[in-house]
Structure 1
Amino acid sequence: MRVEIWSDIACPWCYVGKARFEKALAAFPHRDEVEVVHRSFELDPGRAKDDIEPVLTMLTRKYGMSEEQAQAGEENLAAQAAAEGLPYRTRDRDHGNTFDMHRLLHHAREQGRQSELLDLLYRANFAEERSVFDDDERLVGLAVDAGLDADAARKVLADPEAYAAEVREDEREAAQLGARGVPFFVLDRSYGVSGAQPVEVFGRALTQAWGDRTPLRSVVGDDDADAAACGPDGCEIPQG
């Protein structure tokens, strides 16, 4: 069975949702027969590569909230991440264009190191002090840590067309499948799960998809609603 996950490195709910899904997968009896593929989705595709701003500045501008409200939202997100065992910096993080990271992730997939690189990109963006947006050598270093060749990673980043078509194709498929935001999980092209759902919802989706190959259906929680997610208009802000 194949599980495809559309996500963006700049999306905090993708960071949390990946951890929750992996907990469900670890408990799934057929986990060794599940292939996980990570797909590209840019939350801010029109942003220039050199257009980098602090996360709090972006939040106040996009949502029209005060800096205090934005900071409170970040603190609540940190609590959500901590519940999944994930570190999360609530201050001094940057926001920027993620296109090159997605291109590099496609390269990593060809080398069998996609999930490893994605974990490192998430951790670097959400938990570490040094920005992932302002220096290609930072991305090269993360690629090496994921087990990729440094020169090959530099070559990908130096060529703006390398894997660009693959990123755009992922985004086109997301639109065709009706993804309004990320994370968006598609199980064997039979079931769709939107947002950073609880672990038990992912577990139920895996069980249903394993036993029933049908047209794409939506699997949601008990309240019959999508979980927290990020979309083109921004990320949902958790309330205290």
Structure 2
Amino acid sequence: MRVEIWSDIACPWCYVGKARFEKALAAFPHRDGVEVVHRSFELDPSRAKGDSGLVIPMLAKKYGMSEEQAQEAERNLGVNASSEGLDYLTEGRDHGSTFDMHRLLHFAREQGRQDALIGLLYRANFAEERSVFDDERLVELAVEAGLDADDARAVLADSSRYADDVRTDEREAAELGANGVPFFVLDRKYGVSGAQPADVFAQALDQAWDSRSPLTTLADGDACGPDGCAVPQTGSHEA
């Protein structure tokens, strides 16, 4: 069974939602049969590379609130993160384009290191004081995730690499009706929107697993299996 998670590194609820989903997955009896794929979604796709700024003023301007209200919202998010065992800086964080991070995550998926990298990106963005909106910082995180430094630099230096993959993910999100993240899709059959409690994810995993369609066999013939091969009958032609 495949679970696809549309998310953005700049999204605090994606950070919290990932932890809640992983808690449910860890307790799921068929967890070894679940493939998790992280898909791209930019909260601010128009943001230019290098254009970064502090989160609190950005939130106040975006939502038409005071900076004090924005700060309170961040503190509330910090409480939710802490309840999942996550560190969260409620002030001093910055915000910028996540496009290069998504491109790097597609590269990491090819190398089998996507989940490791996205976890490190979340931690760096939400729990560490050093900005993540810096190419060399991204290279350091890529290396920590098990990727080659020179390969990561090459991806970041060429803005066309994996750009189509990012845009394809974003188009698919729109087609699936996802206008916010995190958005979880189980076997392209069930959707779960938002950072739901772990028990909601557990129920979704159970339902998706139990409702998997059995394979319909259109033809059945001679074959080989663990117990050997079918013995040709009299008159059969061997290849």
TM > 0.5 between the two? yes
How far apart, in 1, do the equivalents of 2:87 and 2:184 lie? 23
* Distance in 2 between residues matched to 1:196 and 1:178, nearest whole Å: 17
Distance 1:213 1:176 in 2: 22
Alignment match, 1:191 = 190
Distance in 1 (CA, whole Å) between partners of 2:184 and 2:85 is 21
| Overall identity of the aligned pairs, in % | 77
Q: 1:36 aligns to what SS in structure 2?
A: strand
Give the structure 2 partner of residue 44 of structure 1: 44
Distance in structure 2 (CA, Å) of the matches to 1:182 and 1:66? 24
Deviation at 1:51, TM superposition (A): 1.3
Instruction: Return the letter of the residue paired with 2:23.
Output: K
By how many angstroms is 1:165 displaced? Answer: 0.5
Q: Deviations over 1:70-124 (max 9, x none)?
A: 1111000000000000000011100100000000000000000000000000000
Distance 1:15 1:173 in 2: 21
Larger C-alpha radius of gyration, 1 or 2? 2
CA distance in 2: counterparts of 1:153 and 1:123, whole angstroms: 19
Tell me the TM-score normalized by structure 2.
0.88
Give the match for residue 11 of structure 2.
11
Name 2:113's counterpart in structure 1: 113
Query: How big is the shift at 1:67?
Result: 1.1
How far has the Cα of 1:213 moved from its partner?
3.6
Taking the aligned partners of 1:30 and 1:116, their CA distance within structure 2 comes to 21
After superposition, where does 1:82-161 map in structure 2 within 5 Å?
82-133=82-133, 135-161=134-160
Report 1:196-211 matches (<5 A): 196-211=195-210
1:104 touches 1:156 (CA, 8 Å); kept in 2? yes
Q: Which residue of 2 aligns with 1:237?
A: none
SS in 2 for 1:112: coil
Name the aligned partner's letter for residue 31 of structure 1. R
User: Structure 1 runs of 4+ off > 6 angstroms?
Assistant: none
Look up the match of 2:231.
Answer: none
Equivalent residue, structure 1, for 2:227: none
User: What's the offset of the Cα at 1:158?
Assistant: 0.2
Q: Which residue of 2 aligns with 1:164?
A: 163
TM-score, length of structure 1 as denominator length? 0.88
Query: Is the CA contact 1:190–1:213 (under 8 Å) kept in the aligned structure 2?
Result: no
> Residue 192 of structure 1: SS of its match in structure 2?
strand
Distance across 2 between alignment mates of 1:172 and 1:62: 24
Cα RMSD (Å) of the superposition? Answer: 0.7
